[in-house]
Structure 1
Amino acid sequence: LARATYRLAKHPNIQAKLQAEIDEHWKDEVDIDYDIINDMKYLDMFIREVLRINSSTHRISSRECSQSTIVCGHHIEKGSIIQADRYTIHRNIDLWGPEDPNEFIPERHLVKRHPLAFMPFGIGPRNCVGMRFALMELKMALANILHKYTILPGNELEEGMKIQENITLSPEAINIRIRKR
């Protein structure tokens, strides 16, 4: 949520698109629900872009190589521990171009990508068990906030987030303000 509010404060044009979509799908007299949230395609693209650019971890769970093999000219011995670098994958121009993969562009998720290009929760049968819950929780929180408020930069919103590494990667502080719509 902190990473998402940072992006909203930095990109008011994207925030306006999100608020327009939320207003279109959510009438004041109706409580927001699962079906309404799932119809919000731009919200989904926005969240996917937040997770692509600002993953909560850099690495995916490691795997042990079950047999010796050669991958892209590199010999990998049986028993070697293999670990993908999510940061590099999520910013690879070949996977996320033609636009600069370091730029925040939610619309890039309109294009079908390689199935392993986007992996904020890991991949395969051992991916994050809480993925669907986390995504729905984030969508509901953002929809509720943006329905009533606009996120604005604080007095000291920095160009980049300072990240602290613990079990996960998290921003040290996000300086934003909110204004009632």
Structure 2
Amino acid sequence: MLCILYICKDEKDVDDESLSRVLTYNEVKSNTFVFMVAGYETTSSALAYCTYILANYPEVQKKLKQEIDQYFGDHSEQDQKKDLDYDAVNRMGYMEMFIKEVLRMYPIPVTGVSRQCMNETSVCGYKITKGSVVQADVFSVHYDPDLWGPHDPNEFYPERHEEKRHPLAYLPFGVGPRNCVGLRFAMIEMKIFLTRLLKQYTVVKCDKLEKHFNIREKIVLAPAEVWIKLH
């Protein structure tokens, strides 16, 4: 699909009739910044969390390595040079569950998801009036034992994603028609990176791992530092 945009240098150059089909220069700059942050910072933070989990859960890492070997062969020098097959990466079920569980425990971009009520309704006995804004706290939802049991939501357990959950129980990419536009791209990025990493290395703990793992909120929710060793 080819999309042609007319870009105005100044918002004063835009008349009311053309607003629906024109991007101003400031809008282009703002959206470019958002794309860069959404496309790189979030994925790198998610991968940092992945390495933290791999270091702390060697049994999970072993299962991932077994699945990678199943699809991409042994660790010979010739095999390392093979290109990863897109379809094969997407068929890796345990890898998918692993990433989903990392993002359940450590959501990246937001702490809440806001929606405006368009019609008066009632949810679990609570009356919500038309026009009111409802916000869901992502951490409360992701750690709710009623939504994510019977295994303890505070424990890392990828297999919990084998079970079908409430469609609004999982919110790392938002939800509905305004969810993250880069969802699929981010997932395939992480799958390819982790596959390449674990084909050649084993992630192990080091003395600084927990000491420096302090989650802080700036542009995204990310650890201050992740210290690991690669064998």
TM-score (norm 1): 0.92
Alignment partner, residue 6 of structure 1: 52
Contact 2:212-2:224 within 8 A present in 1 as well: no
Aligned residue in 2 for 1:65 = 117
1:92-103 equivalences in 2 (<5 Å): 92-103=144-155
SS in structure 1 at match of 2:202: strand
d(CA) in 1 for partners of 2:157 and 2:212? 16
- For each residue in 1:138-157, what CA deviation from the matched residue of structure 2 results, as whole angstroms up to 9, or x when unmatched? 01000000000000112221
- CA shift at 1:66, angstroms? 1.6
AA in 2 matched with 1:82: V
Which deviations, in whole Å up to 9, do the C-alpha atoms of 1:19-38 show, x marking residues without a partner?
11101111316321211101
CA distance in 2 between counterparts of 1:82 and 1:149 reads: 45
Check 1:160–1:21 CA distance in 2 against 1; reply closer, same or farther (3 A cut): farther
Mapping for residues 8-157 of structure 1, pairs under 5 Å: 8-27=54-73, 28=79, 30-56=82-108, 57-60=110-113, 62-157=114-209
**Cα distance between partner residues in 2 of 1:67 and 1:116:** 19
CA distance in 2, matches of 1:161, 1:155: 11
> After the TM superposition, which of the residue ranges 124-133 and 30-39 deviates more from structure 2?
30-39
- Relative to structure 1, is the Cα distance of residues 94 and 159 closer, same or farther in structure 2, using a 3 angstrom cutoff? farther
- Taking structure 2 as the reference length, the TM-score comes to 0.73
Larger RCO (alpha carbons 8 Å, 6+ apart): 1
Structure 1 unaligned segments of length 5 or more: list them.
none
Distance change (3 Å), C-alpha of 1:160 and 1:98? farther
In structure 2, how many angstroms separate the alpha carbons of the residues matched to 1:144 and 1:4?
14
Contact 2:212–2:226 (Cα < 8 Å) also in 1: no
Deviation at 1:78, TM superposition (A): 2.1
Distance 1:161 1:68 in 2: 44
Q: Secondary structure at the match of 2:112?
A: coil
Question: What is the total number of aligned residue pairs between the two structures?
Answer: 178
AA partner of residue 59 (structure 1): G
1:74 is displaced (CA, Å) by: 2.2
The residue identity in structure 2 corresponding to 1:58 is T
Once the two structures are superposed, what CA deviation does each residue of 1:145-175 show, in whole Å capped at 9, x if it has no partner?
A: 0000000112221189411111210111111
Provide the C-alpha distance between the structure 2 equivalents of 1:19 and 1:159, rounded to a whole number of angstroms.
Answer: 27
Bigger Cα displacement from structure 2, 24-33 vs 93-102: 24-33
CA shift at 1:101, angstroms?
0.6
Whose Rg is larger? Answer: 2
Q: Aligned letter for 1:10?
A: N
